[in-house]
Structure 1
Amino acid sequence: MVDEVMAGRATYSEDLPLVMTRYGFVEETYFSFSFSPVVEPGGRIAGLLDTVVETTQRVLAARRMGVLQRLGSLPRSVHGNAAEAAAAALDVLAGARTDCPFGLVYLLDEHRVPRMVATHGLPFDGEAAGGVVPGPVARVVATGRPELLDGLDGLLPGLSTVGGIGESDVRTAMALPLVVAGRSTPVGALVLGTSPHLRLDDEYRTFLSLTAGQVAAAVADARAVEVERRRADEQSAVDRARAAFFTEVAVTLQRAVLGPTALPDGFAVHYEPASGTLEVGGDWYDVIDLPEGRYGVVVGDVVGTGLSAAAVMGQLRSAGRALLLESRSPAHVLEALDRFAALIPGASVSTVFCAVVDPATGELRYSSAGHVPGIVVDVDGGARFLEEAGSLPLAVVPDLERPEADVVLPPGSTLFLYTDGLVERRGEALDEGMARAVEALAAGRALPPEDLAEELRQKLLVDAPDDDVAFLLYRC
């Protein structure tokens, strides 16, 4: 390499793994090196310049995103029952021992007692952990809050992680609740070992939390499939009863992935399925807490309705949430979603409006992938459409560079993001529906966000929609 650079040719090495000791332990890190010749005025090469950039966070984020994608891509057919669904999820995590050295899934039985149903990465029978893990698991299930388990290298000797650094004793683990939308308490807990070669920082904790969400979704899906099969066998001749059952399952799945139920101050949301469907579809909204008091907001629309669209929507929403936590640039998030959507059947041509809002300054940075433009209504009733950063839907053109725009939301103004089902009607131009939304927003601009959302629902959804509808309000 030195000879090559001294001969006048620049070169580089990207994402090289290095072992460092910066925080009192042997740490897994990654760096990129760029080597360039230093040329004197006469053309003689006097030396070389080595520029070094740490890429640890990017490498870890990409690696963890791949794990979450594989968890989200598990087909429903592998979920014969909840225990098999948990085992299938842990099989995925078994291939990610660098971040998840071991794992245990506990599900509540009919007496609401946590029972271990699946494990990975244990060098001994899972029951050997019985003296250490059940206490924290019971507390996590009771409180719904994660708990850190420390000192495992002494309590359960033999646990090890396998990574680029080699095998080392695992000292800590996180016990996380398995939460399913529509249930007031967790359905179980996931215990995941953490790498002794990585800091348990906010990014690591976020990854573990998202992993628990994917496992919970797999368990919920498996239980829904179990019920579906049983009811289909029992009531195959009763169409109305079976349709009611599918509706119940669909609502559970939709609520599991649609968006947060506890919203920050100033936000209001609404979702309504297409008429005549099983109350499930591809529209979604999301509000993500970001550092420095900012919020990421997303509204998206997957082509089609039904369970297949909802499955795609769930994967796009999870990916978008993780990407916003890693990169607070809406354009970069959509560019990464382009690549992600190209890998997911049915995700192409989905539309997404992604933005980051700073309540302290009123600054809004946004980018749109083929989505209907957002609307901002001032306190005096003036309105504008957010159209400056529009581009094509997801995964339509490879390597598309997404635009980005900044606006300042005046105090008291209202930001309105929505899907096209709200403004699209048969035999009517889209502009007419958008104008109707602006008129309703301006008329209710003095109402609190929750009341304004209800007012919009009554005014704009008086006719049963032909498409799913999701919208999000934010009062600056």
Structure 2
Amino acid sequence: MEEGAALDGRLDELVTGEPRTEMQRRVLQADWSLTPLGAAEDWSPTLRDAVATALNCRFPMLVMAGPELVMIYNDGYADVLGARHPSALGRRVPEVWPDVWADIEGMIAGVFAGGTTFVEDLPLVMTRFGFDEETYFTFSYSPVLAPGGRVVALLNTTVDTTHRVLGARRLAVLQRLGSLPRSPGGSATEACEAALRVLAEARADVPVAVAYLLEEDGHGVRPSASYGLATDPPSSKDVEDWVREAVSTGSTVTVSGIAGRWPGLSLPGASPVGEADVDTVVLVPLTAAGQTRPVGALLLGVSPHRRLDDEYRHFLELVTGQVAAAVADAQAVEAERRRVAERAELDRARAQFFSEVAVTLQRAVLGPTVLPEGFAVHYQPAAGTLEVGGDWYDVVDLPGGRFGVVVGDVVGRGLDAAAVMGQLRSAGRALLLESRSPAHVLSALDGFAELVPGASCSTVFCGVVDPAAGTLRYSSAGHVPAILVGDDGAPRLLTEAGSLPLAATEDLVRPESEVLLPRGSTLLLYTDGLVERRNENLDQGMARAAAALVEARHLTPAELAAFLTDQLLEDAPDDDVAFLLYRCGD
């Protein structure tokens, strides 16, 4: 599209916000007379309203205008287009999306015929970055109706769920690796073979793998197990050098250009996306928990249908950690024949490793958080399990120096609960950024929870902290009450704005309350795992938490978090625990 034409005043009046975003500027400044839609001043009010709705929304939205399906989209959808932005603006959908047109053409035709479409986690093969990319999208197609019922455009609301779908798929692989039984023969090779048999079921993420172990002399390198290879495992000097580099540095080695060096390395059928040679491999040192020197390295092929981003690298490192744990376990069995006394320590190290993996996985689902001053958070999985759960916390930067604070708990445990938690957390964060009203956030989450299987009856405490005013506005959906302790040591349970869990009943009006946060006061938001114990009612647990908060109220937030963990979680709770602390500026 050409730029530089005069702004269309009528559409401009409907687009809010200053300064304009990139896509607001592009749409308002484009010369639409060069498209089948004609000049913007000649658009119907219905089309202008639909375009303004998309441009005013932060959620990815696309308007497919007219029978030609001319594309008008917002900033969120620009990210979906990848390298096809900004040239996609004003072009026809089939021209911009030829790779997925066969998948969506029938849906679009159905909407123009009077229907609607909603699809969850639809697999799509896109070439938006120059290669066949495995993606997943949840989206809806809604008709834009002119007076009289004629469909003049189609509104596409979409979200890229690829990271969530792949995260759940990869988490399942890690859990299966973590549940491998001990090697009865005490053989490191057998342990590698068993682990790679599990990993071979995940060729969409790891199309090929070879485990290289050091010889007993510590110098030679030998392939001990593999899968997915169309030929024998690579054993050239280059491979040995890569393995030695990974072992000697203790760092991951990434090698590209494999397709040219070893064409046809991997067997076909790795990915539903299609066939393509593996071109990049990573070699991750096999270092088990409690050991300082790697015992070898794991060569892992990178899917040619995904970019090797930080999340993908982290998954491959966790996979290697699990294989390393299996190798270490086999070595432990062999060592037990000589030193029975070492068994307890080795089992403790293995359990600690799995516990660290559980915490790492949960934090990966929660997402990275850089905490503002005055905040501290803690997450701890249930004792004796590698499963992630549905507990979460969040701190959201809001305009005016305010902060949104959320703690919630999804019913259940495992991948399903973690997936629901991730959706509720993302929705809550987006709603806080839009409205900054805790009651409105929870009311909107009621409607969202009705659409997400497993989200009903989740509990959420949502608040907005205003440090300048020294206040907290909050609302609670069936969640355990927050605890506020003043600098004078007087505890208070925040129960005034409590109501039912999410989606428990229809048309529920969520209450909201405001409380003062005196300087030096401490606020504790938490899930029930912190206070719930067998043979003890919940009031006793909350009283114990309040007493600990009072006792250590003069510690820094980080020190206080460590104190609460030591005092309240010493008996290894049966449920996940998440809590958030805030200290009002001294």
User: Separation in 1 of the partners of 2:184 and 2:500?
Assistant: 38
Match of 2:507 in 1: none
Aligned AA (1:120): Y
Alignment of 1:49-60 (within 5 A): 49=154, 51=156, 53=158, 54-60=160-166
Give the conservation status (yes or no) of the 8 Å contact 1:13–1:32: yes
User: Which of 156, 159, 177 is residue 71 of structure 1 equivalent to?
Assistant: 177
Task: Give the CA deviation at 1:389.
Answer: 9.1
Task: Report the Cα distance in structure 1 between the residues aligned to 2:141 and 2:552, rounded to whole angstroms.
Answer: 61
Secondary structure of 1:214's counterpart equals helix
Q: 1:120 matched to which residue of 2?
A: 227
* 1:33-432 pair list within 5 angstroms: 34-43=140-149, 45-46=150-151, 49=154, 51=156, 53=158, 54-76=160-182, 81-113=187-219, 115-126=222-233, 128-160=234-266, 162-227=270-335, 230=337, 245-259=342-356, 290-291=367-368, 293-294=370-371, 297-302=378-383, 310=384, 313-316=385-388, 331=408, 337=414, 339=416, 380-383=488-491, 413=522
Change (3 A) 1:414 1:258: farther
Please state how far the C-alpha of 1:466 moved relative to its aligned partner: 9.7
Shift of 1:353: 11
Percent of counterpart pairs with the same letter? 43
Amino acid at match of 1:293: V
Contact 2:184 2:333 survives alignment (8 Å): no
Contact kept? 1:285, 1:300, Cα under 8 Å:
no
The answer to whether the 8 Å contact 2:146/2:152 transfers is: no
What do residues 20-58 of structure 1 show as CA deviations (whole Å, max 9, x unaligned)? 333333323334554445544334x44662626244333
Question: How many positions carry a matched residue from both structures?
Answer: 405
Counterparts of 1:96 and 1:331 in 2: how far apart (Å)? 32
- When residues 299 and 334 of structure 1 are mapped into structure 2, their CA distance, relative to the original with a 3 A threshold, is farther
Larger deviation, residues 34-43 vs 160-169: 34-43
What is the SS of the residue equivalent to 1:148? strand
Distance 1:143 1:420, change over 3 A: same
Q: What secondary structure, in the 3-state scheme, does the structure 1 residue paired with 2:236 have?
A: helix
For residues 421-460 of structure 1, the aligned pairs below 5 Å read: 435=543, 438-447=546-555
- Equivalents in 2 of 1:436, 1:257: separation in Å? 30
Q: Are the equivalent residues in 1 in contact too, given 2:460–2:478 (CA < 8 A)?
A: no
Name the stretch that deviates more: 367-376 or 332-341: 367-376
Q: Distance in 2 between matches of 1:369 and 1:46?
A: 40
Give the partner amino acid of 1:252: A
Q: Tell me the CA shift for residue 418 of structure 1.
A: 10
- Structure possessing the higher radius of gyration over alpha carbons: 2
Mark the CA change 1:59 to 1:102 in structure 2 (over 3 Å): closer, same or farther: same
Distance in 1 (CA, whole Å) between partners of 2:136 and 2:285 is 32
Q: 1:52 to 1:380 in 2, by over 3 A?
A: same
Measured after TM superposition, the shift of residue 86 of structure 1 is: 1.7
Q: Could you report, residue by residue, the CA deviation over 1:403-457 in whole angstroms, capped at 9, with x for unpaired residues?
A: 9x9999977848697997999698x877556645544543344456897789789
Q: Distance in 1 between matches of 2:538 and 2:333?
A: 39
Distance 1:49 1:137, change over 3 A: same
Give distance in 2, aligned partners of 1:137 and 1:354: 48
Superposition deviation, residue 245 in structure 1: 5.0
Q: Is the 8 A contact 1:296 1:355 kept in 2?
A: no
Shift in Å at residue 100 of structure 1? Answer: 0.9
Given the superposition, is the C-alpha separation of residues 3 and 59 from structure 1 closer, same or farther in structure 2, using an over 3 Å criterion?
same
The letter of the residue matching 2:306 is L
Distance 1:139 1:357 in 2: 50
- Rate the CA distance shift 1:88–1:11 in 2: closer, same or farther, 3 A: same
Normalised by the length of structure 1, the TM-score is 0.63
| Distance of 1:87 and 1:66 partners within structure 2 | 19
- SS in structure 1 of the partner of residue 156 of structure 2: strand
Are the equivalent residues in 2 in contact too, given 1:79–1:85 (CA < 8 A)? no
- Cα distance change, pair 40–413 in 1 and its aligned pair in 2 (3 A): closer
Gaps of 5+ in 2: 1-105, 393-404, 420-457, 505-509
Distance 2:325 2:464 in 1: 31
Please say if 1:24 is aligned against 2:130. Answer: yes
CA, structure 1 residues 296+199, in 2 after alignment: closer, same or farther (shift >3 Å)? Answer: farther
Distance 1:391 1:180 in 2: 46
- What secondary structure is seen at the aligned counterpart in 1 of 2:386? helix
AA matched with 1:314 = L
Shift in CA distance, 174/359, structure 1 to aligned 2, threshold 3 Å: farther
State whether residues 286 and 297 of structure 2, in contact with CA within 8 Å, keep that contact through their aligned partners in structure 1: yes
Check conservation: 2:195, 2:326, Cα contact below 8 A: yes
Report the Cα distance in structure 2 between the residues aligned to 1:29 and 1:359, rounded to whole angstroms. Answer: 37
Q: 1:92 to 1:10 in 2, by over 3 A?
A: same
Whole-angstrom CA distance in 2 between matches of 1:32 and 1:214: 32
- Structure 2 SS opposite 1:297: strand
Distance 2:185 2:521 in 1: 49
| TM-score, normalization by structure 2 | 0.53
Q: Is residue 104–residue 120 contact of structure 1 (8 Å, CA) maintained in 2?
A: yes
Q: What residue number does 2:66 align with?
A: none
Deviation at 1:194, TM superposition (A): 0.8
Q: Is the 8 A contact 1:31 1:52 kept in 2?
A: no
Compare the two structures and name the one with the higher strand fraction.
1
Rate the CA distance shift 1:49–1:259 in 2: closer, same or farther, 3 A.
same
Q: Is the 8 A contact 1:285 1:298 kept in 2?
A: no
Q: Which runs of 5+ in 1 are unaligned?
A: 235-241, 261-281, 303-309, 322-327, 343-351, 398-402
2-structure distance, mates of 1:223, 1:409: 57
Q: Secondary structure at the match of 1:93?
A: helix
- Write the deviation string for residues 167-218 of structure 1: whole angstroms up to 9, x where unpaired: 2222212222333332234443222111222111222122222222322233
Does the C-alpha gap of structure 1 residues 168 and 320 become closer, same or farther in structure 2, counting only changes over 3 Å?
farther
Verify the 8 A CA contact 1:286 1:299 in the aligned structure 2: no
3-state SS in 2 of match to 1:59:
helix
CA distance in 1, matches of 2:359, 2:548: 22
